[in-house]
Each structure stands twice: as C-alpha cells, then as structure tokens.
Chains A and B, each alone.
Chain A
Amino acid sequence: MPSRRRALLKVIILGDSGVGKTSLMNQYVNKKFSNQYKATIGADFLTKEVHFEDRLFTLQIWDTAGQERFQSLGVAFYRGADCCVLVYDVNVMKSFDNLNNWREEFLIQASPTDPENFPFVVIGNKTDVDGGNSRVVSEKKARAWCASKGNIPYFETSAKEGTNVEEAFQIIAKNALKNGEEEEIYLPDTIDVGSSSQQRSTGCEC
C-alpha cells in the first residue's frame, strides 16, 4: 500500500566541520555551489522530490553543524532517520578518522531497531582540490573501512563540480527506502474518544 507515511524519507548528513555537508546538500537540491566557507548552526533540512520505481518520494535531507558548539540542543532530530550519510574530506585525514565516531554516535543516539543493518552511505568529498594532489586518504583505504563496517556504499564526490553527487544521492534514496519499509506501526493501548491532554497541561491557556 503506498501509504502517505512512506512517501517521506529522512536522511541525516554527518561529518566534521568543513568537509562540505552543506555544499553537498545545496549542490544536490539547488544545483548551486559557493566557495565561501559558512558554518552551519543547529540542524535543518531541505527537501527534494525523487522518482523511484514509478513512485514519488520526498527526500528530507538534514544538514547538521560539524562544530560541536553549534549543536546545543542535542540530536533529537536523528530519530526516525532512514539513512545516514557520513561525509569526510579526502584531503584531511582527521575527518576520515572521525567517521567511526560519527557512525557510533549516530547508532547510540538514533538507536535504530536493527543497528547492524541500518543503511549508511560514506562520501569522500572535495576530490577536485588541487587536481587531487593534496589528497591524503586513498580510495582503497576508504573502501576498506566501508567494507569492514558491513559493506557501506562509498562515493567520491566534488560538490564544487557536481561530480558524482546525483549518483550518491540516488543510492542514498534507494537505501533509505529499503530501510523505511520495515518501520514499526503504532497502535494505541486504548481507544479513547476524548483527549486527556487538556487536563495534563499546565501553564497558561494559550
């Protein structure tokens, strides 16, 4: 049944500060790129409609702050994610080393029902920088890490030039959809016609 609920897919983008999370999202959703570095504060999303297997889905892509001091409210928005994208900068070793932390943090905080099989996608961004000469993380190394974590799909992109971004998000959407189909369904304990919330609320009646 093409339920309304399943028409929405939630994707979270994580990674160190400055690896290009916002740029990837902007490139994918708006086909725009800016060279200027602008930090992200908190978390918010852009949406994009995608066609998949003759159906229309809305992809809700959450961009997050890489700097911890701009994540003051915590990560409640991880809840209900259908796919998590881990991004690093191929020119910065530390950003690759931190992927593991981001992955574990996500699994702890989002606590998906089946953490073993939760869909991740890894993106090595900024392949364009200095014609690839300043690259420090080899593709082989990145792929080996992805293989060791349960064959995570891996993409190398340039948000600046738009290379491989579309391809990466197609797989992201596909895997998010696969995950979403196994979502739990809520059933109320009791059938209650009225609502008791008014009694529970305190404070002003606004």
Chain B
Amino acid sequence: MIADGVEDEEKWLSAGIAGLQQNAFYMHRALDSNNLKDALKYSAQMLSELRTSRLSPHKYYELYMRAFDELRKLEIFFKEETSRGCSIVELYELVQHAGNILPRLYLLCTVGSVYIKSKEAPAKDVLKDLVEMCRGIQHPLRGLFLRSYLSQVSRDKLPDIGSEYEGDADTVMDAVEFVIQNFTEMNKLWVRMQQQGPAREKEKRGKERSELRDLVGKNLHVLSQIEGVDLEMYKEIVLPRVLEQVVNCKDDLAQYYLMDCIIQVFPDEYHLQTLETLLNACPQLQASVDVKTVLARLMERLSNYAASGAEVLPEFFQVEAFAKLNNAIGKVIEAQENMPIAGVVTLYASLLTFTLQVHPDRLDYVDQILGACVKKLSGREKLDDSKATKQIVALLSAPLEKYKDIDTALKLSNYPRIMEYLSDGTHKEMANVIVQNIMKNKTCISTAEKVDALFELIKGLIRDLDGDSQDELDEDFIEEQNYVARLIQMLHSDDPEEMLKIIQTVRKHILTGGRKRLPYTVPPLIFSSLKLVRRLEGQDESVSGDEASTTPKKIFQLVTQTIEALTSIPVPELALGLYLQCAEAANDCDLEPVAYEFFTQAYILYEEEITDSKTQVTSIHLIIGTLQRMHVFGVENRDALTHKATGYSAKLLKKPDQCRAVYACSHLFWLDDHDSIRDGERVLLCLKRALRIANAVQQMSNATRGSSGSALLFIEILNKYLYFYEKGVSQVTVESIQDLIKLIRNEMQGETSPSDPAADAFLASTLRYIQFQKDKGGAVGDKYKLIIV
C-alpha cells in the first residue's frame, strides 16, 4: 500500500507517535523501578517506530525528535546504572541483543555515549566502532537520521584539543577522521537516494533530498567547530578530503549545497589561504551546478571580511585574491557557454564589489572587470531581461557608491561602453543614479571635457533616445529634468575660459533635448552664464584686447542664441523673463546697447506672443520692475522704453489691472539713488491717471451692479501718494493727500458702498502709519504733521 496523500501521512505519523508514546510510558516505568531488562525491551520497541518507510523527511524528523528526547532519559539511566556498579562494557554488549538492527544501533550509540564519558575505553575506539556499525543501515532516510544521531551524541565527546577525551597522540586527527567518515557515509546515502525508486517520482525525491541536506551539511559544521583544526590541517587534510567527496559524488544537488556549506562554515582566513584549491574544484563540478551562485557567495563573504578592517587586507594581497578570482570567473564563464547573461553580470558584479572593497586604489582592476563584461555583452541585442538589468545597474552603481565621485567613474573607459548595452529605460534609470550621486556627494565637475563625457553618459535624460518620444509630461519626467537643471547649476570652473567652454558644451547637449526639455534646461544654463558675466564684471576691459578671451559681450551673444531656441516651443513668458534677467546683467556691465536689445526682445515677445491677459499682467510688472532698476540708459532710450511700458499698462484688459500697472509706472520717474531720474510731474501724472481709472471702475460698478465697488484701489493709490510725499516730490501736496483721504472715506461710508473688511483694515493701518510718522518727530515728523486727517 502506498501512502500518497498528506492525510495518509498524518495518519501514519500519529500512529507512529502513539506507538512511541505507549512504549515510552512503559520504558519510564521500567526506568523508575530500575528494571534494566524492561527498559531495554520497551526502548527497543519504541525505536522500532523509526523503521517506517512511509513518512516524508519532515514527518520522520518529528517522530525522530520524540524518540530522541526519550533516549536522553535512557542515557541518564544508563549513566546511573554504571554508577550503581553495572559494567559499561557489559551494557554495551547487552544492548546488542535487540532484535532489529535499527533500534539496536540507536541503543548502541546511546550507550556508546555513556561509554566514552566513563573513559573506560579511548574515545576514538568507541567512535570508530560506532561509525563502522552504522553501516548496517543502508536505507537512505533511516541511515541519515541514525548517523545524525551518532553525530549529535558524540558532538561533545570528540577527542579534540582541550577536550577531556583528548588522548595521547594525534587525537585531533581521530576526531577529524571520525567526522569525515560519518560525512562520507552520509553523503553516499544521500546521493544514492536520487537513484532509488521509480523515475516518475524523480521530482519528489529531489524535494525530499533537499529537505535532508542539512543532516549531511551538519558534519561540515561539526568539522569547523573542532578545536585544533588549524589552517595547516584544514589545508592539508580537511579541505582536500571534503572536496574529494564533493567532486567524486557527481551529484549536482550535493555539489551545489556542499560547496555553499564549505564556504559558509569555515572561516574567511582559511578560504583566502586555500583559494586556489577551492576554486580549482569549481570546473570539476557537474555542468548543471549553479557555480556562479557559489562563487558569488564566496566573493560576498570575502568582501564582508575585507570590510571588517584594513588590517586584514594584506592577507588578500599576499595570496593575490583578485587575480585568482578573476581567473576562476573567466574559466567558469568560458566553460558554461549557455550561462544566461544575467548570470555573467551577477558574477562580475560580485567580483567588482570584492575589488572595490579590497583594492579601492586599483581603478585598472575595476575597468578590467567592466571590460570583460563589455566583451560578453558585445554582439548581443540591448538588454531587456529584468534580472540582467537589475544586476547591471548594481554593477554600474557600485563604483559610484564606493568613490562617491563621478570623476572616478568618468576615468573608466569601459563604463560608457556598458551603458551602450542598456535598454532605453535602463539607460535612463542609470543616468538618474549618476545624477543623484553627483547631487548627494556635491561633486564639482570642472572641465568641459568631463562635462562632455558626463552628458554623453546621461544622454538618456538629455534627449529622446530612439523610439521613446511620448509627449505627455509625467511627474517622473519633470523630476528628472529638474535634476538635470540642478546638475547644470553645479558645473563650475574657477577659470572663466574653461567655464565658458563648459557652458558651450552644455548648450550643445541640451539643444538636442527637444521642446519638452528646453523649458527645464535653458533657464539654469542662462543663469549659469549670467553668473559668469557677473564674475567678469569686476575685471577690467584691458583683458578684452585678446580676441579669444572671454568677454561679457561674447557670453551675451551666446545667451541670446540660447534663449532664441525657446521661441519655437513657444514659452514666451519664460523667454521674456530671461531677457529681462539678461538686460539687468548687461546693465551691471554698462553695456547700454546690449541691455536695450534685450528689452526690445522682451517687448517684441510681449506684443506679439503674450496674449493671455493674466500673463500680460505678470509680464508688465516684471518689465516695470526691471526697467526701474536700469541706470545704463541715456535719456532717449529710457524715454522710449518707459513710454512703451506706460502704454502697455494703460492698455491692459481689466481696469483694476490697468490702474495698478499705471501707478506702478510712477516709480519709473523717480529713482531715489539717481539724481537724473527725478521727474515729479510725470510721477503725479501717473498717479492722477491711476485715480481716473479707479474712478472709472467705481462708475462702471455703479452702472452695472447698482453699488460702488471696493475702495481698495484708492487706498493703494493713497499709499503711493504718501510714498512720494515722504520722498519729497513737491508735486505731491498735502492738500492732494487730504482730499484723497476724504474721497476714500466718502466712498466707504456711502449708502451704496459694500462693507469690505480688507479695505477697512488697509485704511486703518495706513492712517496708523501716518500717525506713527508724526510721532517720530524730526524732519519726517514735521512733514507728516502737516497732514490733517
């Protein structure tokens, strides 16, 4: 009958546990009454439950653990028996009368453990006897558990150095010999399991074997814990013997698992000193073994070891670890032609991590690894396998994280070559990693040549690569472009010549970006250029004799051409703002014609391109504000520009907008720090015109709504009056201010006027200001005292 379901298996397990518990119960009674004969009888019956073939490894382990716990009680009893005068040697013979071999051997191991403790015979003899006797069980599952029982009970009785069971000579060797023999036998049982049973259950057997693997691997753990296995013994005996078993068993599951065990259970120092032996075993493994994971784990371990402290690094140099690993990886890749590219990249990424940790100063090693990777990638399609992509991003990110400096990566000739093999999406992702690395480490990139290389490297962000020119601007895109903008701001050279070259280089790259990107990339470049202009500002014109040298004029030409690139998009309000910024910079350089030209460009945009009324309002205030600060213009030019500006103001669509723009224009005629621009007449003209417009607003309101509008505009104008009055514009008189206040009060108290808390508060604080100035005393106070509210 075949137990084929989980349910059946549960049933078998409960039956086994029930039988075990029952016999254990009688065993306990025998133990409590010191009845050795019954104790042996019932314990043997109890252990018979382990003879089952119906349980999977997990369930068998449950049953085994229960038997195991019971045997500990029996072991204590045996110990007590010997102290009561029963000879251990006799006991050792006596348990061998059990009828079935499996219970017999469990009992033998249990007594054997007491035997060794009694020290009546050398530990090594007892152990040798036990490990030989266990050959009696050739059923893989039962044999594996029996041997792991032996391994467990002997664990603290091995005759290793410092142990109380240490004998006279060569005792560590005895311990090692015992464990290796047990390991070898267990591995044989484990491997043989694969060949047993019908072929259709191959997969199931693989799974079961996989569950059992730790029983075999455990022996290696025991070996690593034996006191006295020094490097010498590991190198000469332990590793060769274990590897011999691993290689010769020719079983891929066992080979893969045991290699991993060796790497994990033995110390790093040992691996370094035996690297060649370990690596030489790799090509001898079955072709189906996942050697790359084995090697990757080895390198990961060694990298962590190298990271533990600089004092261990000489160990790595001494054994030429890099050369050996590099060589081994090359061989594995060569041997396994069908290795997927993700595997290849994983291996190189592990080696790179190792190299960065152990040889941070050897850029040539790093480049060599990248070069080897390029070689494997060449002749292939661009990568689009997600696993390989992930690995390659890890590979390319590692040097950036280590050196925290893109400068170093730019020195790696193979770095950009690998980028070529990335799919467009990955290329972009990698470019983002690079840019963010620069941001994070505040790396300064200071030559045009490096900038050129960098922008070529991150071209996925700079321009549309083949076939991805979707038009929508999603959040990611905007974020990326903002990063590029920040990057442009970070490029800097102290040498103006070089800085100009950098600007030209960036310009060359960003102009390929297309209409989606230019609004993000042009502004930072303009500001970067203007920063350079301001740096040159302090310098004398005498340098400009040299034609090749960097002059503000030259930069302004470049800037003009750059802004012009925006006209095709179009983003007129952005371009207008940039022209005004340039005009101000030209003003500071005393370049009147240049400044005038920038203003002209801004005005043309205003007249021809900016049609939206809201944009017109913000633009006109920008124009007025900029123009107000200009001092470079002669009377004629200034008149022409102010005239236009006031004209634009009066022509805005909404009356309140007109009003505010017009009173803002008043500032164009009175500059505090400029004696030549003090035209009180025209200031007053602007204010009066603003008042007229405000009046018109009220009338319109009365006509259309039957109530007057807010007095807010009047109060704003009053504030302008007060400003110019305080500045000493004689045309602004006390009377005109008092009249205006009266007018405002009338407006606010009229029957049809609406209540407006904002206007009330504004007026109140304006009046408070007047009072405050009065109280100040002095010249200002005297002036304000004349105003009677």
List A residues at the B interface (Cβ < 8 Å): 3-5, 7-8, 22, 29, 32, 34, 36-42, 44-47, 58, 60, 65, 67, 69-74, 76-77, 79-80, 186-188, 192, 195-198, 200-206
A70–B72 CB distance below 8 A:
no
The answer to whether A202 and B54 touch across the interface, beta carbons within 8 angstroms, is: yes
Q: Most B CB atoms within 10 A — which of A70, A203, A205?
A: A70
A12 CB to nearest chain B CB (Å): 12
- Looking at the assembled complex, report how far the CB atom of A191 sits from the nearest CB atom of chain B, in whole angstroms: 9
Interface centre among B23, B51, B53, B162 (most CB of A within 10 A): B51
Query: Contacting B61 at CB < 8 Å: which of A73, A192, A196?
Result: A73
Complex CA distance for A205 and B213, rounded to whole angstroms: 26
- Which A residues are in CB contact (< 8 Å) with B222? 44
**Contact (Cβ within 8 A) B15 A200:** yes
List 9 additional A-B contacts (Cβ < 8 Å) besides A70-B264, A188-B21. A32-B227, A41-B218, A41-B220, A41-B261, A47-B156, A70-B217, A72-B212, A186-B21, A206-B100
Which of B49, B53, B64, B65 neighbours the largest number of chain A CB atoms within 10 Å of its CB? B65
Cross-interface CB contact of A41 among B19, B156, B265, cutoff 8 Å: B265
B10 shortest CB reach to chain A, Å: 14
Q: Once bound together, how far apart are the Cα atoms of A196 and B210, in whole Å?
A: 33
In the bound complex, residues from chain B placing their C-beta under 8 Å from that of A77 are: 65
Would you give the shortest CB distance from A67 to chain B, in whole angstroms? 7
Interface hub of B53, B156, B221 (most chain A Cβ within 10 A): B221
A65 contact set on B, CB distance < 8 A: 214
Cβ contact of A188, chosen from B22, B152, B261, cutoff 8 A? B22
Partner of A202, one of B28, B52, B57, B101: B52
Contact check, B264 vs A205: say whether CB atoms are below 8 A apart: no
| Least distance between A61 CB and chain B CB atoms (Å) | 11
Q: In the complex, which residues of chain A have a beta carbon less than 8 angstroms from the beta carbon of B562?
A: none
In the complex with contacts A200-B15, A201-B48, A4-B77 CB distance below 8 A: yes
Q: Is there contact, CB below 8 Å, between A39 and B264?
A: yes
A46 neighbours in B (Cβ, 8 Å): 155-156
User: Among A7, A40, A74, A76, which residue has its beta carbon within 8 angstroms of that of B76?
Assistant: A7
Kindly state the separation between the CA atoms of A192 and B53 in the bound complex, as whole angstroms.
25
Chain A to chain B: the 5 pairs with minimum beta-carbon distance, closest first:
A36-B267, A39-B264, A42-B214, A203-B53, A41-B221
Question: Which of A69, A196, A201 gathers the greatest number of chain B CB atoms within 10 Å?
Answer: A201
B622 within 8 A of A: no
The answer on a CB contact under 8 Å between B156 and A42 is no
CB–CB A41/B45 < 8 A: no
Question: Within the complex, which residue of B61, B65, B73 is in contact with A5, where a contact is CB–CB below 8 Å?
Answer: B73
Residues of B within 8 A of A205 (CB): 100
A184 to chain B, nearest CB (A): 11
Do the beta carbons of A188 and B25 come within 8 Å of each other? yes
Chain B positions within 8 Å of A41 at CB level: 214, 217-218, 220-221, 261, 264-265
CB pair A197–B136 under 8 Å, yes or no, is: no
Contact present for B54 and A72 (CB under 8 Å): no
Q: Which residue of B lies closest to A42 (CB)?
A: B214
Q: Is B215 an interface residue (CB 8 A)?
A: yes
A153 to chain B, nearest CB (A): 26
The interface residues of chain A lying within 8 Å CB-to-CB of B320 are none
Residue of B whose beta carbon sits closest to that of A198: B48
A-B contact pairs, 21 of them (CB 8 A): A8-B76, A36-B268, A38-B264, A38-B265, A39-B221, A39-B264, A41-B217, A41-B221, A44-B222, A45-B155, A47-B156, A70-B261, A71-B214, A73-B61, A76-B58, A187-B25, A195-B45, A197-B45, A197-B49, A200-B19, A206-B137
A195 nearest CB neighbor, chain B only = B45
Q: Cβ of A196 and Cβ of B19 under 8 Å apart? A: yes
Docked complex: B224-273 residues within 8 A CB-CB of A: 224-225, 227, 260-261, 264-269
Known: A73-B214, A202-B52. A44 touches B152 (CB 8 A): yes
One digit per residue, 1 when the CB lies within 8 angstroms of any chain A CB and 0 when it does not, for chain B 23-40 equals: 111001001100000000
Interface residues of B in 148-168 (CB under 8 A from A): 151-152, 155-156, 162
A29 to B225, CA, bound (A): 13
Docked CA distance A187–B28 (Å) = 11
Chain B nearest Cβ from A53, distance in angstroms: 19
A76 touches B77 (CB 8 A): no
- CB pair B224 A4 closer than 8 Å: no
**A58-B76, A67-B264 given as contacts; is B58 within 8 A of A203 (CB)?**
no
Docked pose: A99 CA to B16 CA in angstroms: 35
Also in contact, A74 and B61, with CB within 8 A (given A5-B73, A8-B73): yes
Whether, in the assembled complex, B102 has its beta carbon less than 8 Å from a beta carbon of chain A, the answer is: yes
- A74 to B16: give the CA distance in the assembly, Å: 19
| Residue pair B214, A4 in contact (C-beta under 8 Å) | no
Decide: A203 and B51 in contact? CB cutoff 8 A: yes
Interface residue? B139 (CB, 8 A): yes
A37-B268, A47-B156 known; A206+B221 contact, CB < 8 A: no
Q: Which residues of A contact B19 (CB under 8 A)?
A: 195-197, 200
Q: Is B673 an interface residue (CB 8 A)?
A: no
Which residue of the partner chain, among B54, B64, B69, B155, contacts A80 with CB atoms under 8 Å? B69
A37 to B308, CA, bound (A): 11
Q: How far is the CA of A192 from the CA of B212 in the complex (A)?
A: 35
Indicate whether A76 sits within 8 Å of B61 (C-beta atoms), given known contacts A38-B224, A206-B102.
yes
Which residues on B sit within 8 Å (CB–CB) of A3? 32
Chain B residues in 8 Å Cβ range of A196: 19
Min CB–CB distance A134 → chain B (angstroms): 12
B361 beta carbon closer than 8 Å to chain A: no
Q: Nearest Cβ distance between residue A128 and chain B, in whole angstroms?
A: 15
| Chain B residues in 8 Å Cβ range of A203 | 51-53, 139
Contact present for B77 and A201 (CB under 8 Å): no
CA distance A197 to B16 in the complex (A): 8
CB nearest to B24 among chain A residues: A186
B136: which of A76, A79, A206 is its contact (CB, 8 Å)? A206
Does chain A have a CB within 8 A of B62? yes
Residues in chain B near residue A34, CB distance under 8 A: 267
What residue of chain B has the Cβ atom nearest to residue A7's Cβ? B76
Q: Name the B residues within 8 Å of A197 (CB-CB).
A: 19, 23, 45, 48-49
Residue B22 contacts which of A22, A32, A192, A206 (CB distance < 8 angstroms)? A192
- A-contact bits for B1-28, CB 8 A (1 contact / 0 none): 1000000000000011001011111001
Interface residue B376 (Cβ < 8 Å from any Cβ of A)? no
A186 to B24 Cα, complex, angstroms? 9
Residues in B neighbouring A76, C-beta threshold 8 A: 58, 61-62, 64-65
The residues in B between 119 and 137 inclusive whose CB is less than 8 angstroms from any CB of A are 136-137
CB distance from A111 to the nearest CB of B (A): 13
CA distance A183 to B655 in the complex (A): 93
CB of B218 within 8 A of CB of A44, answer: yes
A72 near B155 with CB under 8 A, answer no
Complex Cα distance, B573 from A138, in Å, reads 56
> A196–B16 Cα gap in the complex (Å)?
11
- Complex CA gap A70/B219 in Å reads 13
Q: Is B66 an interface residue (CB 8 A)?
A: yes
Residues in B whose Cβ lies below 8 Å from that of A8: 72-73, 76
Q: Which residues of B contact A79 (CB under 8 A)?
A: 62, 65-66, 69
CA distance A44 to B227 in the complex (A): 17
B211, CB-defined interface residue at 8 Å: yes
CA distance in complex: A197, B58 (Å): 21
